[in-house]
Amino acid sequence: MNEIIKWPDDMKPGRSPIHFTNERDVAASVETTWSLLADTRAWPGFYPGIQHVRLLDGHETLSLGTRFETNLAGQDVFASVPEFEPMARIAWGGYPKLSEVSKVYHAWIITPTANGCHLWTGEMMKGPHWIDLEKKAPDVFWLTHEKLLGDLTKVAVARERVRSRSVTNEEI
């Protein structure tokens, strides 16, 4: 997956002191899973710790170049979307407002499978703020992403069931 992601030069896996990946098969379609990742209003329902997302510059949805502010890992974060390929991949990168030199880049790849989709996510982090947090709890970021994938999967599967029932009811 690393060759698919357009990591910024200073955030490539070999150049970032914190690098982890998580992945999971999801029994929901690419469309359903994508709709959750691309809709920041849905994030508080599955993204650990996120309470709000504010899109900037008049944007109403995520797209290539969208800038936004959120609270992530207990921090107010400024970010933008440098990768956006609907139904396939998305990435956002940014920094906590209290430490612009502490950067993060979070990428997602969605691949269709026979039973739904495969969701892969990778994150690179660098800078004193993230390194200090990792020293206090070495697995905190990886574990948070495991929870994120688990919660996202539950929401996607539930949404898929609702859509399936709606389609079935329309056919009756």
Helix, strand, coil fractions of the chain, as percent rounded to 5: 35, 35, 30
129-145 tens-digit pLDDT: 989 988 998 898 999 99
Domains of the chain: 19-166 (3.30.530.20)
pTM of the model: 0.89
Report whether 127 contacts 102 (CB < 8 A).
yes
Of 17, 64, 78, 72, nearest to 44 (Cα)? 72
Instruction: Please give the average per-residue pLDDT across 93-104, as a whole number.
Output: 93
Measured from the Cβ of residue 37, the count of other Cβ atoms closer than 10 Å reads: 20
Q: Two tokens at 72?
A: 């992530």
Q: What is the pLDDT of residue 138?
A: 85
Please compute Rg for the chain using Cα positions: 16
Give me the amino acid identity at 127. Answer: G
Kindly state the DSSP code that residue 151 receives in the 8-state scheme: H
pLDDT at 95 over 90: yes
Distance from chain centroid for Cα 71: 13
